[in-house]
Structure 1
Amino acid sequence: MPSVVLPPIAHYVPASPTKEPYLSKADTYEGRVELAAQLRDAMHTHGFFYVINHGLTQAENERIFDIADVPFSAVSDEEKKAYVAKIKETGSWQGYKLKQYWHINAGVHDQIEHYNINNDVTRRQHPQAVRPLIPEIEAFVKFNHFNILHPLLRLFALGLELPEETFVNVHKFKPASETFDFGSVSILWSQPVASLQIMYPDGSWRNIKHIDNALVVNAGDALEFLSGGFYKGTIHRRGYTRLGIFYFALPDDDTKLVPFAESPVLQRVGIQRRWADADAPTSREWDGERTRAYGQSELKVREKGVEEEIINGVVVKHWN
């Protein structure tokens, strides 16, 4: 992070901890091979894992949470309206997603508020309180992309016995389409509150426990498609008030979401295709359709707490 004098902002005080470990040592090829085997099992079974020893200190972590709180605590409701994202109209997440934008069920709307920034942090103007912090935010974005995402993508490729750069080659750092959990990899900076839950293979919900200065990583739609269903997208839900920091990655816009069928692993275990290769959407097409539909389309109740919608011929489930 920058070593210059930083703009003073209020310190964000998180909720009390709930406490548990996972990963590091990707600097050598031997270490990556070992980690790839662990990651492959975690992603194939559960779709998520922890990352530790990623390179940011605890103090730098705390500074990032201070910054993340600014768009909510230091910007008035009136000013926020000038920076609202046009999610439904354009498929863009940039800016604020204010509370009650999504319809949940029976007239109930969500209580989630987001402030989303593109990889290109200059693509859109930001609220006044956020502007002095843009250099730090830009450095943090690049850190997530090159120091966390790319090493993980190499492990994903090794786990499928593909060349290490297979997934890196379709995740360039450039102004991206807007994304959410519909992309390939979601990186959550852990917070000391039991808010995120995932569904285990036995159908039970379990809390994702907090580890100081750790990351929680899960697969999104695109990685599941590219891996032929081998790396499974995590079924998850959230509750309780908390401040979250996420880095959502997605493949390059023109990447066709077809499995890497040359993978020896996929050739052994089989490939799950959601559509014929010729009909597969690009990353941009899928992300745009998911973004515009999210929280807006009509959902069909299939069982208690589970609703479905169909996007581009794919059944998408929602757990409420």
Structure 2
Amino acid sequence: MPGTITSFIPHYAPAAPTNEPLDYADLVIIDIAKAHTAEGRAELALKLREALTTQGFFYTDRIFDVADVPFSLVSNEEKRTYAANIKATGSYLGYKLRQYWHIDAGVHDQVEHYNSKSVYFRIEPIGLYSLVNRDVKKKQHPESLRPLLPEIEAFAKFNHIEILHTLLRLFALGLELPEDTFVNQHNYSAADQSYVRFMKYYPRPEDEEIKTKNIWLKGHTDFGTVTILWSQPVAALQILSPDGRWRWIRHIDNALVVTSGDAMEFLSGGFYKATIHRVVQPPPDQRGFTRLGVFYFATTDDDIKLVPHAESPVLQEHGITRRYDDADAPTMEVWSKSRTSAYGQTELQKRESGVEEEVINGVLVKHYN
């Protein structure tokens, strides 16, 4: 990650990788360094297309040190000052404090996360980033994070421009669309629902594990187009494989785990599947440790209507699966805020299969418990 380290902060020491013989998902590993040439992009596009049409998944110390600051160096009182009004605004910006989401059987979550937007803001029409109001922006963050904002900004931009845009070109090639089709819908300065998330899971009492059958976060899909997860060693993330079995995601040093979300499924007419994933209690040799995560949640520009790219030759051959009529398609902003405000707060309809359902903006959304 580019950028200058500006402040000393404590080092976060994660748990050692598990030695348990877990049933790991067999994921495709994408070497995005190959994406620097047209030949490499063509090769990767085919691998990526295969991964996303089956499972929806494929495969730095400093950023994890930064990620731990909003949890270990901020008091509970100050956290409450910066708590997001999630249900009212449909936005996670700021803190999502523990026990906000209902998991099951009266048990609420033990996960805390801090979500950050760009430090700077855009001046129209020349499109330059202003430093004049940096102090105003800093007041929107806990005091201990303010010296680290330039690093967080650089990290956000690196994820969006260098990683996300590279992947989006492969997504487009997989649909035989012009390379920049999805890139043009993901402008860094206009994707207001995109953000960096630092997320920390805390161990739970045994009685809560029993009540929830060890589920920390029930199976779900993300609302955006792409989620970038920086791999960390505490095993807890699982995906629902095509054979209906939940399988663990293996930790790989310096790797990224990438999932596709609802918005990408909508834009691809159901061709690229939104990844169904959940978080469970870690294996025995990692219990008692906190689990620190670093994410970049990517969305399109706010005003993009989430309609399929019907001009794709691939979709014309394979057919388009629509979750709603094109005329009723929500914008990215509407879908993002609707999913965010409802998650963990609404009454779900339980089915005999164990799947729980709700309808958001006329779209059936499923949760897997």
CA shift, 1:5, in A, is 5.5
Q: What SS does the aligned partner of 2:357 have?
A: strand
Q: What SS does the aligned partner of 1:129 have?
A: helix
Q: How does 1:147-158 map to 2 (within 5 A)?
A: 147-158=162-173
Partner of 2:118: 119
Q: Is the 8 A contact 1:224 1:231 kept in 2?
A: yes
CA shift, 1:106, in A, is 3.0
Q: How does 1:1-320 map to 2 (within 5 A)?
A: 1=1, 4=4, 6-18=6-18, 22-24=29-31, 25-50=34-59, 61-120=60-119, 123=137, 125-174=140-189, 176-178=191-193, 181-239=222-280, 240=282, 241-303=290-352, 305-320=354-369
State which drifts further: 168-177 or 276-285.
168-177
Q: Is the 8 A contact 2:2 2:158 kept in 1?
A: no
Q: What SS does the aligned partner of 2:91 have?
A: coil
Equivalent-residue separation in structure 2 for 1:117 and 1:249 (angstroms): 13
Q: Is the 8 A contact 2:191 2:301 kept in 1?
A: yes
| Deviation per residue, 1:174-193 (Å, 9 max, x gap) | 15433582110000000012
Q: Is the 8 A contact 2:119 2:149 kept in 1?
A: no
CA shift, 1:15, in A, is 1.4
Residue type matched to 2:223 in 1? F
Equivalent-residue separation in structure 2 for 1:175 and 1:232 (angstroms): 25
Q: What SS does the aligned partner of 2:359 have?
A: strand
Segments of 4+ in structure 1 off by > 6 A?
Answer: none
Residue type matched to 1:104 in 2? I
Equivalent-residue separation in structure 1 for 2:97 and 2:354 (angstroms): 24
Aligned length: 310
Equivalent-residue separation in structure 2 for 1:291 and 1:3 (angstroms): 31
Q: What SS does the aligned partner of 2:53 have?
A: helix
In structure 1, list runs of 5 or more residues that go unmatched.
51-60
| Deviation per residue, 1:229-248 (Å, 9 max, x gap) | 01101110012441000000
CA shift, 1:305, in A, is 3.9
Residue type matched to 1:297 in 2? T
TM-score, length of structure 1 as denominator length: 0.93
Equivalent-residue separation in structure 2 for 1:104 and 1:136 (angstroms): 34
CA shift, 1:4, in A, is 4.7
Partner of 2:285: none
CA gap 1:119/1:228 in 2 versus in 1, 3 angstroms: farther
Q: Is the 8 A contact 1:306 1:317 kept in 2?
A: yes
TM-score, length of structure 2 as denominator length: 0.81
| Deviation per residue, 1:34-84 (Å, 9 max, x gap) | 00000000001000101xxxxxxxxxx100000000000111111101000
Q: Is the 8 A contact 2:190 2:301 kept in 1?
A: no
